[in-house]
């Protein structure tokens, strides 16, 4: 059904103006000061966006949906994750494929792709995880890139599991340079983490609050420095995921200033929650265990400042949904056994708007840039991340006057499959009122109306 959005205030990463948008099919057909509905095709749905913003569909460049981890599996599937994303205004997800070291890359790619196709309501693509590098893996990585996956993922953490050694890192970056692929990287020093974990557990320090001391800011900053050295020597383009602290961000900035092609990502939790949340009484702190960990509250304004200056390129989530009652409790006797992750794919846009835009920490253009446009540019998402004639008709009519609260008991702000929200009771100032994916309305008036399986694998340049 054709779509006409009238009277909305259109905001992109660079522009701010009031106009009407007409979508005859998958893409935006017209943008004009005023479009007469009578000039549109029969059956056109008209949305009055007066008093509301119209944003390009938001992009979360770092999520986990299907995720085997620490002997269990993430709770979401693509039906629940895509519904939650869309309710929060996110129309495209990039999922991390995380094969085990013994797995063949092509088999893992087919598994992850099969989980999304026919189930996702939003559009999607992947970062191909590199957990081994040998002749067979290299051959398969080349084929996966030909299939349209233009980014890799490496872990400089999780020793003995997902982590790569320096030889594997070097050859992954060389291949990426040859193929024009961006390498995303989890940057921590795996040896330092493993040794500090063992020391803390031996001292009887097993509670969730000791997760952060096991991988402090120096460990993350050293991991970023390590990656940048290899990127500089190979000429590869790199992207540091979930940068949690000023020390790590500055390591990446120093490399960028000397010519390394690198991008910095922060995830929503590292902007709005801090280490004190892991110190909640009982075992409640386990809800906030993620890696890199939540930092001292003094880090939050520094990360907002990096974002406001656009030295941080993107805001993602690292969405990794595990139940509190049946999964996080696996680590009651040792913080190292707590499945890592804070479910947040549904809350990213609203909390970024509430705590960033309405407080003056970032402006509307930076909001759109970090939550949509930059991700589209870095990862070559064709047609995504902007509002222009010919672009995909992924649009968010956003109501800044909305007021509400997050609660795991309410489907208004909790469509994720987890049994808790890390942001229970938090106030919201704004929400996505109407959302379209390629011209088809999937959220109308804050209610999900999408069709499961309508999402597609995004073509990438």
How far apart are alpha carbons 389 and 210 in whole angstroms?
51
DSSP letters along 363-382, please?
A: -HHHHHIIIIIHHHHHTTBT
> What is the CB neighbour count within 10 angstroms for residue 161?
14
Angle between helix 299-308 and helix 246-257 axes, rounded to 10 deg: 30
Longest dimension (CA), the chain: 74
pTM of structure? 0.98
pLDDT tens-digit profile, the chain (461 residues): 899 999 999 999 999 999 999 999 999 999 999 999 999 999 999 999 999 999 999 999 999 999 998 889 999 999 999 999 999 999 999 999 999 999 999 999 999 999 999 999 999 999 999 999 999 999 999 999 999 999 999 999 988 889 999 999 999 999 999 999 999 999 999 999 999 999 999 999 999 999 999 999 999 999 999 999 999 999 999 999 999 999 999 999 999 999 999 999 999 999 999 999 999 999 999 999 999 999 999 999 999 999 999 999 999 999 999 999 999 999 999 999 999 999 999 999 999 999 999 999 999 999 999 999 999 999 999 999 999 999 999 999 999 999 999 999 988 899 999 999 999 999 999 999 999 999 999 999 999 999 999 999 999 98
pLDDT of residue 461: 86
What does the pLDDT read at residue 410?
A: 86
Q: Which domains does the chain possess?
A: 57-378 (3.20.20.140)
Query: Could you please report the per-residue DSSP string of 237-253?
Result: EEEE-S--SHHHHHHHH
Measure the N-to-C terminal CA separation of the chain; round to a whole number of Å: 28
Q: Which pLDDT does position 159 carry in this prediction? A: 83
The 8-class DSSP code of residue 293 comes to P
Place of tokens 């948008």: 21
- Tell me the C-alpha distance between 419 and 456, whole Å: 28
Quick check: 243 and 265 in contact, CB under 8 A? yes
DSSP codes, 246-284: HHHHHHHHHHHHTT--EEEEEETHHHH--GGGGG-TTTG
Which of helix, strand or coil describes residue 197? helix
The whole-number pLDDT of residue 295 equals 98
pLDDT at 160: 81
pLDDT of residue 1: 87
Q: What is the token pair recorded at 19?
A: 């106009």
> Which pair of structure tokens corresponds to residue 76?
């979401």
Break the chain down into helix, strand, coil percent, rounded to 5: 35, 25, 40
């Amino acid at each position: 059904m054709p779509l006409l959005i009238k009277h909305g205030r259109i905001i992109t990463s660079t522009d701010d103006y009031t106009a009407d948008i007409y979508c005859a099919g998958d893409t935006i057909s017209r943008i004009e000061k005023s479009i007469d509905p009578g000039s549109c095709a029969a059956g056109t749905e008209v949305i009055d966006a007066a008093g509301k913003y119209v944003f390009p569909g938001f992009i979360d460049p770092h999520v986990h949906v299907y995720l085997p981890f620490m002997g269990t599996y993430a709770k979401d599937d693509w039906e629940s994750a895509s519904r939650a994303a869309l309710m929060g205004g996110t129309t495209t997800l990039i999922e991390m494929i995380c094969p085990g070291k013994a797995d063949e890359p092509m088999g893992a790619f087919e598994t992850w792709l099969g989980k999304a196709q026919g189930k996702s309501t939003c559009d999607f693509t992947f970062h191909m995880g590199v957990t081994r590098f040998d002749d067979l893996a290299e051959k398969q990585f080349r084929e996966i890139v030909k299939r349209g996956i233009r980014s890799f993922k490496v872990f400089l953490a999780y020793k003995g599991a997902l982590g790569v050694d320096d030889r594997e890192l070097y050859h992954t970056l060389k291949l990426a340079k040859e193929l024009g692929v961006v390498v995303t990287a989890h940057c921590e020093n795996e040896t330092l983490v493993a040794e500090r974990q063992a020391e803390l557990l031996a001292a009887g320090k097993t509670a969730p609050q000791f997760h952060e001391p096991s991988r402090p800011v120096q460990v993350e900053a050293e991991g970023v420095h390590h990656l940048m050295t290899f990127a500089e020597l190979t000429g590869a383009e790199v992207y540091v995921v979930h940068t949690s602290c000023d020390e790590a961000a500055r390591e990446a900035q120093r490399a960028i200033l000397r010519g390394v092609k690198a991008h910095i990502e922060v995830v929503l939790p590292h902007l709005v929650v801090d280490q004190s949340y892991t110190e909640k009484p009982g075992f409640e702190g386990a809800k906030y265990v993620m890696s890199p960990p939540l930092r001292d509250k003094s880090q939050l304004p520094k990360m907002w400042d990096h974002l406001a200056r656009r030295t941080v390129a993107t805001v993602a989530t690292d969405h990794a949904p595990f139940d509190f009652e049946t999964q996080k409790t696996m680590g009651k006797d040792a913080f190292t056994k707590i499945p890592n992750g804070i479910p947040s794919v549904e809350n990213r846009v609203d909390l970024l708007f509430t705590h960033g835009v309405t407080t003056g920490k970032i402006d509307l253009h930076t909001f759109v840039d970090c939550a949509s446009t930059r991700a589209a540019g870095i990862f070559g998402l064709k047609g995504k991340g902007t509002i222009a004639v010919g672009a995909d008709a992924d649009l968010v009519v956003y109501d800044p006057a909305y007021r509400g609260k997050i609660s795991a008991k309410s489907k208004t702000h909790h469509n994720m499959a987890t049994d808790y929200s890390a942001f229970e009771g938090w106030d919201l100032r704004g929400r996505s009122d109407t959302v379209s994916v390629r011209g088809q309305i999937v959220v109308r008036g804050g209610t999900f109306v999408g069709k499961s399986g309508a999402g597609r694998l995004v073509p990438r340049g």
